[in-house]
Structure 1
Amino acid sequence: MNTNVLMENAGGVVKDSLILEAKRFGVSHQPPLTLDDWKKQRAELVSLIKANAGAFPVACDLDIKYYESIQMSGYSVTKLTYQSRPGFRVTANLYVPDGPGPYPGVLNLHGHWAQGKCAERVQNRGHLLALNGFVVLTVDAFGAGERGTIPGEFEYHGAGIGGSLFAIGETLLGMQVNDNMRGIDLLQSLDYVDADRIGVTGASGGGNQTMWVSTLDERVKASVPVVSVGTFESYVTGSNCICELLPNGLTFTEEWGILGLAAPNPMLILNAMQDINPTFYVSEMTRSFNSAREIYKLYGEMDKFSYQAINLTHGYWPDMLQCMLGWFLRWLKDEGEGRPVEIQAHESLSESQCLCFPDNRRPADVSSIFGFVRPRAQRLAAEHLSPGNSIDAAQKRAELKGILNVPAGPDYVSISRVREGAEGNLSIAKFSVEIEQGIPVPVFALSKSGVKEKETVIAVHPDGKDAAWNDPRVQSALDSGKTVVLADLRGTGETHWDNIPIHDQPHHCSARAVLWLGRTTIGDWTKDILGVASCIKDVLSAKSVEIISCGETGLAALSASVLSEKIKSVYAAGVPGSYVNDSDKVR
């Protein structure tokens, strides 16, 4: 059966509504006019970032553990781990020039190269900077390098792996920032490092972390984020990693605000003119740069904020290394004018030589993301189910609504013209419900001809109406004389737009998009279900409403039933029974 309601797919309408919402937020965030106003805004901004990025625990003992040291020509590379949280260790390589020092220290952060610190393009910065008199700490990002799920197997740390941190109130962005700030603690603890001269650099995801660390840690005196700066607006509907996501971020700032937090410390932004990721287009970077420059202007330090657009592809290429080295020589060693300098040839190590645990026998405190999440999720679940933990239903409903960020306002805004007809022995009706301004939910209602029963079943599925219609339970409901209402929740079926599955995770880009905007996908779908339930009572005179759902839409259906008395019952298939994941696989 053709369940289509619309003559053309409306995914673009839903996508455009998110882009427009992002633009509205962007327009509302403008640089202040005075330094006093900025300092007030700055304090508020830092507080909001930390509140939304997850926990930043009190610093524990670094408990640095040193492993093998490899002597190079003019410097050494030492393999080590340190604690960023109690019982939670970060794997790293330390590049140290020969001689007593003290030398400036640089935190070197890798992007989405699964080998992490071991990748040759990441090593390059360590070797180059050490040859030029800098101590360099190169760390494995959480979930990458030696911190992946299975020792010895490099993997991508985003999508469902990094997303599992949400279940315990953490974010991958915040976890990495904390690891990296503790890396600065480590650099400052070394007697051969000048603690007042700390720099940070990295490319892509590492460039993103460079920005966050440089703006949240005032100890960073110079930074060079590479192929990573754009606008938060451009993140919305884009395909960036979850490690670059700050939930609710656009509701209180744009990316220029984050860059501005680094002021008045020197920052050089390097972007690639041939980058194929729209988020990192030079045009997006300059939008943020121009606004952040207003903050540096308030400090009277415009010479400390600069950018270069280089005619290369996404990466940290030799031309960029030249720019970075010149910048750090100027601002961390008082040498030169900050312009690009020639770089010398150097040796590289094999990936296995950079491993702290080349036999893949890492200790338990070098944890994967799943290994970190699981015991904490188990503990939280046990606390919720504790016999002494009384449950106030009204309070729990309020908490659920807050967690889901269910959009406020009426259940629905309007209903299109209802088109009625027949198909065989079935009476059909097709219409769209506008849940919020510009958000259509196509609805296909069908019942056996002549049936007067007003019991109604709403059927929803992550893959849209066609998948819902093929559910035997839906067919059974229709055969029993109930009216069946097939609905495409936003971003599914005829409103589907997210065609870039990231590591087999459907709805990845759309889920990221709404989180930037202070929403959640489950919250939006809950709103859609409530709107359809209310609408069919008005249009179809439904007396009772049941829901048949599957997968992720089951969570929305259950949430809708908790928040509204209009829903009589819910059947949810394929829904996780718990957010505690007992395996090392995304589910």
Structure 2
Amino acid sequence: MKTLITILFASTITLAINSYAQKPELCQGAYFTEAEGKAFLDSHVPASKAAWEARAQKIRAQIRAGMELETLPARPNSAPIIHSKRVMDGYTIENVAFESLPGIYVTGNLYRPIKKQKSYAGILCPHGHGENPHGRFREQTQKRCATLARMGAVVFVLDMAGQGDSKQTEHKFSKALKLQTINAIRGIDFLLSLPGIDPQRIAVTGESGGGTQTFLVAALDQRVKVTAPTVMVSAHFFGGCVCESGMPIHKKGDYQTNNVEIAALTAPRPMLLTSDGDDWTKNTPKVEFPFIQKIYALYGKQSLVENVHLPDEKHDYGPSKRKAMYAFMAKHLNLDIKEVSDAQGNVDEGPSKVLEQKDLAVFNAEHPRPANAVMGDEAVLKLL
């Protein structure tokens, strides 16, 4: 019986591998079935740390090749635009733009704690897709950035390409994945350029498409020390937008990976996986998390990866998901969660106010988009 089970298990994996081997090199949306995703992970558990690191090298190489980012473009030396500082309850907000490429502006908001410290953690907050108000203007995004700042971190939330103030391209243009990855890396550059930022306390957290940005930038940039990709890491779902899977980072000929292996490239740096019961992360406690635990165990750091699963919740960065992230960031970035907690120890987001989009806008009549801004998909593609 045991031999029969082994044969059937091996046959299942072989059928799954043969099935996805015939699929095109752009792996988008639910590219695998749930069974194929699990079979893929089961067949790629590394036997040793050396085996994993050899595999990791191949995964990183294909991400760079697929994004056409074997060499990162030179960083522009222009000064950032920072204006419209607002003093809030325990934190400040400023409107920011800086060049990631000549004529390409990353736009967003900078949240800083009012309380002075010897040094500060820096947190990059990419956001996910969503209806109006988009991205960084949504309540869930403003609340998390403001609360993290009240805890003592300097936080930068950046627009997705084509959203918010980032109107130089449409969101769904062919190399959005490459542009957003460059922008995220330049976002880390920006944080590290600010006074007092501790380079050993750089973190990234985002939900959905922002979760994809989180694990991709962590895979490519070792300056990222802590991550919390939220409602995104899935064995079978590869991201439904061109900004996540519109370039061949997962597959080349017979080579194949998925987002779980890419997220595992974060090891052994602390990572929190937050999942829910209503989307492609519904299997995380039984499929994705155990695989990533095995990778961390190769480094003797299994305790540094955690999963908070919320089976009755949906696809968002809601209050309970944020609460889990605050505790994780406080633990690994030495932030003061007591600054945002009530007498019972519960996180109080009340002082983290939600502002109107016009208050957070980077470009307006008083602060126009710079004259050198490159406009339109075709012009931006030439730069990329």
TM-score (structure 2 length as normaliser) = 0.79
Where do residues 420-431 of structure 1 align in structure 2 (5 Å cutoff)? Answer: none
Q: In the alignment, is the contact (CA less than 8 A) between 1:230 and 1:285 conserved in 2?
A: no
Cα distance in 1 for partners of 2:375, 2:276 equals: 32
| Structure 1, unaligned runs of 5 or more | 1-15, 151-155, 164-170, 378-587
The counterpart of 1:40, out of the listed 48, 54, 59, is 54
Structure 2 equivalent of residue 400 of structure 1: none
Structure 2 equivalent of residue 69 of structure 1: 85
The counterpart of 1:135, out of the listed 134, 144, 154, is 154
Describe the shift of the 1:286–1:92 C-alpha distance in structure 2 as closer, same or farther (beyond 3 A): farther
% identity of equivalent residues: 29
Where do residues 432-447 of structure 1 align in structure 2 (5 Å cutoff)? Answer: none
Does residue 110 of structure 1 match 2:161?
Answer: no
Q: In the alignment, is the contact (CA less than 8 A) between 2:152 and 2:335 conserved in 1?
A: no
Cα distance in 2 for partners of 1:62, 1:39 equals: 37
Cα distance in 2 for partners of 1:253, 1:374 equals: 27
TM-score (structure 1 length as normaliser) = 0.53
SS in 2 for 1:79: strand
Q: CA deviation at 1:374?
A: 5.8
Cα distance in 2 for partners of 1:218, 1:88 equals: 24
Describe the shift of the 1:369–1:288 C-alpha distance in structure 2 as closer, same or farther (beyond 3 A): farther
Q: CA deviation at 1:41?
A: 2.4
Q: In the alignment, is the contact (CA less than 8 A) between 1:126 and 1:138 conserved in 2?
A: yes
Structure 1 equivalent of residue 227 of structure 2: 223
The counterpart of 1:187, out of the listed 182, 186, 191, is 191
Describe the shift of the 1:143–1:263 C-alpha distance in structure 2 as closer, same or farther (beyond 3 A): same
Q: CA deviation at 1:67?
A: 1.8
Where do residues 85-484 of structure 1 align in structure 2 (5 Å cutoff)? Answer: 85-101=101-117, 102-113=119-130, 115-148=134-167, 157-158=171-172, 162-163=173-174, 171-231=175-235, 233-235=236-238, 240-245=240-245, 246-247=247-248, 249-250=250-251, 251-275=255-279, 280-283=280-283, 286-310=286-310, 311-333=312-334, 342-344=346-348, 345-346=350-351, 347-359=353-365, 361-367=368-374, 370=377, 372-373=379-380, 375-376=382-383
Letter in structure 2 aligned against 1:87: G
Per chain length, whose mean CA-contact separation is higher, i.e. which structure has more relative contact order (CA < 8 Å, sep 6+)? 2
Letter in structure 2 aligned against 1:271: S
Q: CA deviation at 1:284?
A: 5.6
Q: In the alignment, is the contact (CA less than 8 A) between 1:234 and 1:284 conserved in 2?
A: no
Q: CA deviation at 1:205?
A: 0.6
Describe the shift of the 1:263–1:374 C-alpha distance in structure 2 as closer, same or farther (beyond 3 A): closer
Cα distance in 2 for partners of 1:326, 1:369 equals: 41
Q: CA deviation at 1:256?
A: 2.4
Describe the shift of the 1:247–1:375 C-alpha distance in structure 2 as closer, same or farther (beyond 3 A): closer
Q: In the alignment, is the contact (CA less than 8 A) between 1:269 and 1:306 conserved in 2?
A: yes
Q: In the alignment, is the contact (CA less than 8 A) between 1:271 and 1:281 conserved in 2?
A: yes
Q: In the alignment, is the contact (CA less than 8 A) between 2:203 and 2:224 conserved in 1?
A: yes
Q: CA deviation at 1:214?
A: 1.7
Cα distance in 1 for partners of 2:240, 2:363 equals: 30
The counterpart of 1:30, out of the listed 41, 44, 51, is 44
Q: In the alignment, is the contact (CA less than 8 A) between 1:111 and 1:206 conserved in 2?
A: yes
SS in 1 for 2:199: strand
Letter in structure 1 aligned against 2:237: S
Mean alpha-carbon deviation: is it higher for 26-35 or for 80-89? 26-35
Cα deviation, 1:108-165, whole Å, max 9, x if unaligned, reads: 1111136232222211111111111111001111121111359xxxxx722xxx22xx
Cα deviation, 1:463-488, whole Å, max 9, x if unaligned, reads: xxxxxxxxxxxxxxxxxxxxxxxxxx
Letter in structure 2 aligned against 1:358: N
Letter in structure 2 aligned against 1:138: V
Structure 1 equivalent of residue 3 of structure 2: none
Cα distance in 2 for partners of 1:134, 1:123 equals: 14
Q: In the alignment, is the contact (CA less than 8 A) between 1:147 and 1:366 conserved in 2?
A: no
Q: In the alignment, is the contact (CA less than 8 A) between 2:233 and 2:260 conserved in 1?
A: no
Cα distance in 2 for partners of 1:190, 1:65 equals: 13
Cα deviation, 1:483-517, whole Å, max 9, x if unaligned, reads: xxxxxxxxxxxxxxxxxxxxxxxxxxxxxxxxxxx
Q: CA deviation at 1:364?
A: 4.3
Cα distance in 1 for partners of 2:375, 2:293 equals: 39
SS in 1 for 2:110: strand
SS in 2 for 1:295: helix
The structure whose Rg is larger is 1
Cα distance in 1 for partners of 2:290, 2:78 equals: 39
Describe the shift of the 1:27–1:91 C-alpha distance in structure 2 as closer, same or farther (beyond 3 A): closer
Cα deviation, 1:220-279, whole Å, max 9, x if unaligned, reads: 111111111112x434xxx8111110415143322222122100100001112123xxxx
Structure 2 equivalent of residue 57 of structure 1: 73
Q: CA deviation at 1:37?
A: 2.2
The counterpart of 2:96, out of the listed 77, 80, 86, is 80
Q: In the alignment, is the contact (CA less than 8 A) between 1:91 and 1:139 conserved in 2?
A: yes
